Structures are given as C-alpha cells and as structure tokens.
Amino acid sequence: MTEQPGDHLRRTGPAWKLLQDKILVHTRASTRNGFNLARSASEHDGIILCGADALPAICSFHRQAPGQRLQLADPDSYGDYATPDTPFRLASHSLSGQQSLFEEDQAEELRNSQQGQLYNGATASLTPTRYIRAGDRQTVAAAAQAAWGLDSQRTILTLPLDYQWLREPGDLDYLIATLADLPHIKAIALGAARNPLATRGTVIALRKLITSLERVALIRTDLAGLDAYAHGALFVSIGMQTPMRHIRPPGSTGPPMPRKSNVTTMVLHPQLMDYFRADTLRDLYGRLPGPRCDCTVCTGRSLLRFDHNLSDQEEANRHNNATWLPWADHLQRTEPGPDRRSTWQHLCYDAHNAHQELRELLSGPGALETPRWLRVWAGDPD
C-alpha cells in the first residue's frame, strides 16, 4: 500500500518514546559543499535540520524511507525576543508585520504550524518559540500555557533561554516549577553571544534544570549535550556547524572572523575535548609536532592541516562529528544513572589532564587554559 502523508504518526508511540536516549546531529539542511545529510542521519541516531530547507529535506527523506529516521525541524525562531503576547514566531507576523489581534487565531496558526511539520514527516514538531530574555517569567508562563493546547505526544515545547536564566536561582526555580507538570517534551536551547557555559555556576545550574524536569532535552549545543545526556536528558542534539552549537541573543554578533577570510574553521581536539579555531590550534602547537587524529575522517593525519576555507571547514565539521561519536556511543552503551555519569566524568577528567600535559610542553604557559565547563564536568567545583 502506498504511504500517505502522516501515516507514520498513526503507527508510532509518543515522541518521548521514539526520542528517548538519543543523541542527534543538529545541522543546516542545506550545506554549500555537499555534506551528505542522509548519510549523517543514518550514521547517528537522527538529525535536527535547521534553515529554510529543513522541511523540504525532511519531506524528501521521509518519502525515501517513511518513518525510518528520527528527524526534526529546528524552527530557528530566535531572531526576535519573545513577549508574553507573542511567545511564538508565526507566519502571519512576518506577513502583516504585526500580531493577530485575536488570541484564538494565534493558537490556530500555532496548531497548523505544528501539523505542517508532522505532515512533512517530522518525528515530532518543535514550537517556533522566540528568544526568551533572562528572567522573563511571564513569557515562559505564556509559552507553557499555549503548549497545553497542543498534542503533548507530538509537540516539543522549544525553550530558547538566555544563559542568564542559569545565573539567578529564583529564575531557575520558577522555570522548574512552571514546566514541571507539562507532559510535553521540553527542548532547551541556550543563548549567549559566546559559550553559554563560560560563566561561573552555569554548568551546575544547567544540570539542576535537566535533573529536575521530566522529558527535557538540550538541543543545538556542543559537548554540553553529552553532559546533559549523562545527567538524564531525554535526548540531546549536538551542532555540526558552529552556529548550530548554541543560539545568540537577537542582534548580537559572533566572534570576529579570522584575518583575510570569511570562513571560520573550528576543530574539535580529541584529547583536549574542546573546539579550537584552526589558526589558534596552529599557533598553540608552534614548533611542536601537530596532533594526529585517528578518527574515520582524518585516518592518522595532523589536525593542523585545517585552514579557514569552505572545504576545510566542511572536512573539520565531519572530523568533529566523528570525534564525539565514539564518546556518545560509549555513554549510550553505559547504564543510565551513576555509571553513565561516572563514565562521562572520567572522559572529561582525562581531557582535563591532557590540558595540563600539553601546557607543560608549551613555551607560553598562559597559552592554553582549561575551559571552566570542562573542569566542572571533570569534577572540579564550579
């Protein structure tokens, strides 16, 4: 019998059963240099696609292999601040430049946008929540309230939270209290101009948020996804490209580009468990022999080979994925709970030591600092 749109939803259980214990790749749907999304999706547990082409790509994967892949569409609705009246970005806002006067119209449009994702073959639908300012409790309440009108088995409430939510214990407690009863999956995406976990206290606060809620996911993140996973997140998604590793406050600009280039290549160092700019990595090693990488992409080549151009960036992105995948596998093969947490802590402890060992070899002692988040993952106090 021919597969009809939406049939996959009638066969499957609630989204939280399908997504439980999964580590997804978060990537742009269209890449300028031929990255094979379908292959990436089959090598990993599944994908979250971002960008204008996300739904068409999901639809085409779905036609090829109905219901075979876990696939979600990132609404990428974080370019504006959410307000209590307009927590979501809906098509009518961009068409008319203003929100509908009628709350019922917004609710209907939100329901339609969720249905559209499912109809195209998404495993579940993510709400198009706008960027939520630190401490904006009314907007969190409005978004949670709206979620009650959406199918809890199929809808994921997206929560694009400014990292400063993690800095105020009262705000954190409010989040937990407001979201605790909501049966839907809650997908948190952290926002900051730089790394959201660079500030004291944020790593532990994020763990508190993850462990205090049921059915909570951390999406569009970096290795912080593995920490959340080890601490009981329902699922996580790790970004393939740098902008897919956290969200930014509306209007903020990213770090400056390298000289003479409009491309920044970021390289995940397998022993140091941190991402480095290609030129920073070369400067760091200086005259020392470059680190070799045994991942499936590098097959023993040096990590100093990468430069700031599109083709190197694409290869580095594949190297990055191939580097964290064995860590993800290791965690997934370990029993959830204390064993998984301790496996993750050991991985990070080794990386913490690797920083120390490399520092001793470097001429400039201040050249390599162990990132705060890694020290905390490895067991240091925050």
What lies within 8 Å, CB to CB, of 220 at 6+ separation is 26, 48, 50, 74, 189, 237, 239, 244, 245, 246, 247
Closer to Zn ion by CB, 123 or 317: give it: 317
**Which span (92-100, 142-150, 318-326, 346-354) binds Zn ion, by CB under 5 A?**
318-326
Smaller CB separation from Zn ion, 212 or 271: 271
Tokens of 253: 């600009």
Shortest distance in whole angstroms from residue 312 CB to Zn ion: 12
Which pair of tokens denotes residue 57? 């790509």
Q: Which stretch binds Zn ion (CB under 5 A): 207-215, 219-227, 275-283, 315-323?
A: 315-323
Q: How far is the CB of 327 from Zn ion (least distance, A)?
A: 13
Residue 156 in contact with Zn ion, rule: CB under 5 A: no
- What is the spatial distance between Cα 365 and Cα 369, in angstroms, rounded to a whole number? 9
- CA–CA dist 72, 127 (Å, integer): 11
- Total number of residues shown for the chain: 382
Contact region for Zn ion (CB under 5 A) — 8-16, 194-202, 236-244, 319-327?
319-327
Tell me the sheet residues that pair with 88: 129
- Binding region for Zn ion (CB under 5 A) out of 54-62, 246-254, 312-320, 345-353: 312-320
What mask, x for binding Zn ion by CB under 5 A, covers residues 266 to 305?
---------------------------x-x-xx-------
In the complex, the smallest distance separating the C-beta of residue 265 from Zn ion, rounded to whole angstroms, is 13
User: 58 near 119, Cβ under 8 Å?
Assistant: no
User: CA 87 → CA 125, 145, 297, distances in Å?
Assistant: 16, 10, 42
Number of residues that bind Zn ion (CB under 5 A): 5
The tokens for 168 are: 């105020």
Give the whole-angstrom CA distance, residue 285 versus residue 279: 10
Q: Which is nearer to Zn ion, 61 or 306 (CB)?
A: 306
Of 131 and 324, nearer to Zn ion (C-beta) is: 324
Nearer to Zn ion, 8 or 301 (CB): 301
Q: d(Cα 147, Cα 219) in Å, to the nearest integer?
A: 18
- Taking the CA atoms of residue 61, residue 66, residue 69 and residue 74 in that order, the dihedral angle to the nearest 10 degrees is 60
- Of 293 and 378, nearer to Zn ion (C-beta) is 293
Tokens representing 351 are 């990386």
As measured in angstroms, the least distance from the Cβ of 274 to Zn ion is: 14
Q: How far is the CB of 306 from Zn ion (least distance, A)?
A: 10
Among 319, 340, 355, 375, binds Zn ion (CB under 5 A): 319
Binding-site ranges for Zn ion (CB under 5 A): 293, 295, 297-298, 319
